[in-house]
């Protein structure tokens, strides 16, 4: 893991000695002290100056990407995880997460739904019992680790929905 630390010869964009009142401008001890502080602060200021790049997984330092992945709940690679938060908790989002993690397209069937109506007592869509079915159609069902898929769905589904995982052979 890389650490942010003193970088020899890294100049400070904001030298402290130049910002002190005039009475200290000619004081050799104060100027050397602030130069030492500039050496310590230069990497910190460098990180702060480039902070937006730290939140872009394509530009962030490699060790920082692991922290980004933890922040956004990404398992494995963080690329694509941040935009995926817009659809997290939806059928589309879960299908995309499964595709990224297992390389297979999942059919997601959910029991709920929404409807708008100007008529009173309009029947509600879906079924009264909440449920989520994740269906994988693959050439060889035995090659799919059902336990891993089930554990993945359990971590990434809406927490209130019970679920089942079906793996079906499809030529």
Kindly report the average pLDDT of the chain as a whole number: 86
The arithmetic mean of pLDDT across residues 16-33, rounded, is 92
To which H or E segment does residue 72 belong?
helix 62-72
The pLDDT tens digits of the residues spanning 63-76 come to: 888 888 888 777 66
| Residue closest to 46 by CA, chosen among 5, 83, 89 | 5
The CATH number of domain 88-169 is 3.40.50.300: no
Dist CA 121 CA 109 (whole Å): 25
Q: Is 68 helix (H, G, I), strand (E, B) or coil?
A: helix
The pLDDT tens digits of the residues spanning 133-145 come to: 999 999 999 999 9
To which H or E segment does residue 44 belong?
helix 28-49
Question: Which two three-digit tokens encode residue 83?
Answer: 């935009």
């Amino acid at each position: 893991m890389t650490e942010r630390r003193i970088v020899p010869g890294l100049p400070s964009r904001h030298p402290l000695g130049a910002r002190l009142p005039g009475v200290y401008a000619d004081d050799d001890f104060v100027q050397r002290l602030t130069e030492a502080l500039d050496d310590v602060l230069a990497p910190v200021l460098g990180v702060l100056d480039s902070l937006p790049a730290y939140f872009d997984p394509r530009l962030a330092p490699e060790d920082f990407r692991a922290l980004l992945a933890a922040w956004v709940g990404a398992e494995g690679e963080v690329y694509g995880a941040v935009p995926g938060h817009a659809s997290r908790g939806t059928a589309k989002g879960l299908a995309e997460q499964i595709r990224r993690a297992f390389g297979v397209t999942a059919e997601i069937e959910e029991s709920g739904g929404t409807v708008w109506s100007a008529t009173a007592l309009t029947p509600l869509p879906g079924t009264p019992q909440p449920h989520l079915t994740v269906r994988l159609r693959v050439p060889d069902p035995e090659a799919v680790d059902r336990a891993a898929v089930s554990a993945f769905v359990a971590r990434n589904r809406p927490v209130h929905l019970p679920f089942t995982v079906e793996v079906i052979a499809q030529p």
